[in-house]
Amino acid sequence: MSENAKQNNGIIQKKVLIKASPAIVYQALTEACDLVRWFCDRATSDPREGGELTAYWKTGKTAQKGRAVFKRVVPESQLQLLWVDEGQGVVQEGARHVLSYSIKVKRGTSEVTMYDEDSPPPDEDTYAFIDQGWNSVLLELKDYCERKERSTRRPPRNNDTNSE
């Protein structure tokens, strides 16, 4: 994963190369059954413009729920979500937290660029915490997609029947 995160008006940008098809990456980002494998504990997802994603996380005895609206959906290419409830249980009027993914084929892999656009963090420590958190999340995405890609490939058939 490249270390090209930047703090410009609350924007964090990251890129990661994933040895999986754009279809597998897109599915991991949009399908509830895939999201629970790498992102959250439970999810519902309606990946169409205007559809919603709801994600649930458990931490010890507490649970948190976030809700986002799909603003842009281009299968296997682009995805944009507007987070309208970031786990506080309150729909935010004038929500500005936008999470975008761009998926491109690059050298036989999928190059995923993630943009997290929100209000600027209050200080450098908070920014560093969020930035590091995205590194972990994107590594989980990468690991999941690459495992899924490997599991969908058929093993080569051994047609060599000559043994000595």
pTM: 0.83
What CATH number has the domain bearing residue 94?
3.30.530.20
Q: Does 156 fall in a domain?
A: no
The parent domain of residue 36 ranges over: 11-150
CA–CA separation, 107 and 160 (whole Å): 32
CA–CA separation, 74 and 124 (whole Å): 34
* Model confidence pLDDT, tens digit, residues 20-45: 999 999 999 999 999 999 999 999 99
* Model confidence pLDDT, tens digit, residues 79-96: 999 998 866 555 556 568
Q: Give start and end residues of each alpha helix (H) in 45-162.
A: 124-152
How far is the CA of 100 from the CAs of 97, 108, 115, 128, 157, in angstroms?
Answer: 10, 22, 5, 20, 40
Q: Does 84 fall in a domain?
A: yes
Provide the number of structural domains found in the chain: 1
